[in-house]
Structure 1
Amino acid sequence: MTHSVFLTGATGFVGGAVLRRLISDGANVTAAVRGNADALEKGVQVVRFDAFDTTHWQESLVGIDAVVHCAARVHVMNDAETDPLAAFRKVNVQGTLSLAEQAAQAGVRRFVFISSIKVNGEGTLPGRPYTTDDRPEPSDPYGISKFEAEQGLLALAERTDMEVVIIRPVLVYGPGVKANFLNMMRWLDKGVPLPFGAIDNRRSLVALDNLVDLIVTSLTHPAAANQVFLVSDGEDLSTTQLLHKTAAALGKSARLLPIPSWMLSTAANLMGKKALSQRLCGSLQVDIHKARTLLQWSPPVSVDNALKAVAVQYMSDKKQ
């Protein structure tokens, strides 16, 4: 294990899990925090900042072996920004590259960047998963900003001694998951009939523990240097299969109506919900062969066990 790690996004869903794993592994962690740090683990050194693109990090990076950069301006629905791409670039490109430049100057050995599968694109044909060799085709401001950050980091790695590792996760789920995944669990828990019983797509997901395990592996593995990795559970599911498995984890039976996918897609498009239709009915698969072969890495947690952990946390939260 790398001895000293500088972590951003430590109060977030992914960053918080990375923090817990690093502490468990005995690393010394410095966490960059903009908001409330009260929830952080004891023994973590905290560095407070206002903005990634204007902060002077040099003093905090002295003696650091590796940076894990989880913080970002994330993809948001109904963005209120007048120029969303500029807002994403300010944090995700300028902020990332400012931190990385200063890390390289401070002698940091490795910089692990949590990117997004949106760099590859928004969907795949069934049986034609994305690979790291595919030409990136980001289509929204978030994906574009992540791709530009990747390009800047790889260029930095070419002209400095700092190694860069880029990880592009698919949808991440785990205990404490929010947004659409949490809404799905609530519907299943309440026994709400859902019109998703005949969707024959394929979606790659990644359990939080599996993503964290690859991040930690990438901190020290020699073969990870200056590489891009896609990450998933290695078990692709249809939306229908995911609902059945999640319901089973909750101890419920999914009440799914077999409405054809084309009817769902047509209705969603008419309501202006094309992106939602793509997530529910379209396919998005990734090939993790590169991580398996180059790093000898395999997802340590199965989908069923990961969903059970999510269900346990959900039921616990519901009782509070």
Structure 2
Amino acid sequence: MKILITGITGFVGSNLKEYLKKGFKIIGVSRKNSNNILSYKELNSSVFNNANALIHLAGKAHDLKKTADDKEYFTVNTALTKQLFDQFLKSDCEVFIYMSSVKAAADAVEGVLTETVIPNPITAYGKSKLAAENYILSKEVPKNKRVYILRPCMIHGPNNKGNLNLLYSFVSKGIPYPFGSYENKRSFVSVENLCFIINELLDNATIPSGIYNIADDEALSSNQLVSLIGTSIHKKATILKVPKILVQGIALIGDILPIPVNSERLQKLTEDYVVSNEKIKKALNKKLPFTAQEGLVKTIASF
């Protein structure tokens, strides 16, 4: 089975390549061609016809520094997806997997996010991902083809720290974590569980096409994460319950001055964002290989 993977040099792409290479022939696709990697200009009908599946990972990630031009999100996340999906529909390629995001559905979650929610993204990133989803869903897909839109929550894994890095810095440097007054729950997904799910989608033709949230089974609070980091690196994790109004004031200062905490980062660390993975687990009819805690411990160990 021959698989095309866009964005193969990125964090998810490089992990997925390693995960799938024993069972599949992998052809990487990126903006510039190099050894065994095609450019988008080289993705002609012959390449598509000789491939069994296309996994579209490439995209412009959400810019926390807010320096990106909104148009760039739609150029990369929407227009490129449209182009690739049109080529897929015309070809003999049978499986299309699009890596969207939970942010295409909601920037804030009350309760638990499921696939039945009416999407209402606020950021250009989320809107560009949703626009790509809507284009895919607007097309009639032949019966011999399968199309999956995956909405992962925060993906983590070895050598990809993300927002976990800030929590790690508190514990590793012996700095008390000051946001203990926030009681939140947040979903994560380990890159190992994500790769497992994609492998199952490729292998099992009975899994219905559609939109699937991707998350680990358990949601954890930031306080739990801080404690888990402390346990993992054998250092005492001190959690302080600084009054929220004081914390919010410090974050506002961080919006102006270059200190570790600003309003957006505070929101990321303390917000509730629980994502249901029941639909994908029911479709797979299998357990995920790693619990949330096991996956996070692997990531923490790589820091």
Scaled by the length of structure 2, what TM-score is found?
Answer: 0.90
Describe the superposition over 1:75-116 as per-residue Cα deviations: whole angstroms up to 9, x where unpaired.
Answer: 1123434xx332111111110110111122121101001111
Gaps of 5+ in 1: 39-44, 315-320
Question: Does residue 1:284 correspond to 2:273, yes or no?
Answer: yes
Aligned to 2:259: none
Aligned match for 1:245, one of 215, 221, 228:
228
> What stretches of structure 1 move > 6 A for 4+ residues in a row?
none
Q: Which moved more, 1:274-283 or 1:233-242?
A: 274-283
Q: Which moved more, 1:196-205 or 1:297-306?
A: 297-306
Question: Does residue 1:97 correspond to 2:82, yes or no?
Answer: yes
Aligned to 2:59: 72
For 1:118 and 1:77, how far apart are their aligned partners in 2?
13
For 1:67 and 1:203, how far apart are their aligned partners in 2?
30
Describe the superposition over 1:138-169 as per-residue Cα deviations: whole angstroms up to 9, x where unpaired.
Answer: 11001000001011112234468532101111
Aligned to 1:41: none
Question: Does residue 1:116 correspond to 2:107, yes or no?
Answer: no
For 2:184 and 2:295, how far apart are their aligned partners in 1?
21
Aligned to 1:27: 24
Residue 172 of structure 1, CA deviation: 0.9
Question: Does residue 1:152 correspond to 2:135, yes or no?
Answer: yes
- Amino acid in the other structure paired with 2:101: S
Question: Does residue 1:178 correspond to 2:169, yes or no?
Answer: no
User: Would the aligned equivalents of 1:154 and 1:164 in 2 still touch at CA under 8 Å?
Assistant: no
For 1:22 and 1:262, how far apart are their aligned partners in 2?
48
Aligned match for 1:7, one of 5, 14, 39:
5
Aligned to 1:42: none
For 1:36 and 1:284, how far apart are their aligned partners in 2?
38
User: Would the aligned equivalents of 1:291 and 1:297 in 2 still touch at CA under 8 Å?
Assistant: no
Aligned to 1:317: none
Aligned to 1:274: 263
User: Would the aligned equivalents of 2:219 and 2:292 in 1 still touch at CA under 8 Å?
Assistant: no
Corresponding residue pairs, total? 297
Residue 252 of structure 1, CA deviation: 1.7
- Amino acid in the other structure paired with 1:282: E
Aligned to 1:308: 297
Aligned to 2:186: 203
Residue 224 of structure 1, CA deviation: 3.2
Gaps of 5+ in 2: 256-261
For 2:104 and 2:300, how far apart are their aligned partners in 1?
30
Residues 78 and 293 (structure 1), Cα distance of their counterparts in 2 relative to 1, 3 Å cut: same
Question: Does residue 1:220 correspond to 2:203, yes or no?
Answer: yes
For 1:313 and 1:36, how far apart are their aligned partners in 2?
30
Percent identity over the alignment is: 25
Aligned to 2:176: 193
For 2:211 and 2:185, how far apart are their aligned partners in 1?
23
